[in-house]
Amino acid sequence: MPAFAGMTNKNFMKQIIQTQEAPGAIGPYSQAIKSGDLLFISGQIPLDPKTMQLVGSNAHEQAVQVLTNLQAVLKAAGANISSVVKTTIFLKDMGDFDAVNQVYAGVFKEQHPARSTIEVARLPKDVLVEVEAIARI
């Protein structure tokens, strides 16, 4: 029996999630995609959604804006921070881990999602922090 036997096209349908409360995509991608009961949120960077300008001069300030943007996308999809099951944090410098972790812990207070944190050579617009997420809704 095939691995996907019994699954219908409905299981693979996708819905684009878009909100003006988070920065618009700066490339050919969607802010988020809902597929079944899962929500895949594209990497959020510290841009002000109204001006599309960079917010924050350090990792702590940027992480605050990144997680604010993430929560706006979750809200647009009918979800909230407790719906998140997995995050990936991209840092320009792993030395910023503690600063970002402090902000992260203030947002994800209970039922912490699974998480990976990765240091990368460069992020879009030369930001210090980017976070992507998967949520169940």
Instruction: Kindly write down the DSSP assignment for every residue of the chain, as one continuous string.
Output: --TTTT--GGGG-EEEE--TTSPPPSSSS-SEEEETTEEEEEEE-SB-TTT--B--SSHHHHHHHHHHHHHHHHHHTT--GGGEEEEEEEES-GGGHHHHHHHHHHH--SSPPEEEEEE-S--GGG-SEEEEEEEE-
CATH number at residue 45: 3.30.1330.40
Name which residue leads in pLDDT, 131 or 12: 131
pTM of the model: 0.91
Residue 6 domain flag: no
Residue 54 domain flag: yes
Does residue 38 have a pLDDT over 80? yes
Tens of pLDDT, residues 41-71: 999 999 999 999 999 999 999 999 999 999 9
Does residue 34 have a pLDDT over 90? yes
Residue 123 domain flag: yes
Residue 2 domain flag: no
Identify the pLDDT of residue 4: 45
Residue 75 domain flag: yes
Residue 8 domain flag: no
**In the chain, how many domains are there?**
1
Question: Residue 91: which domain range?
Answer: 15-136
Tens of pLDDT, residues 72-99: 999 999 999 999 999 999 999 999 999 9
Using pLDDT thresholds of 50, 70 and 90, give the confidence band for residue 9: low
Does residue 116 have a pLDDT over 80? yes
Residue 96 domain flag: yes
The percent of residues in the chain predicted with pLDDT above 70, rounded, is: 91
Residue 9 domain flag: no
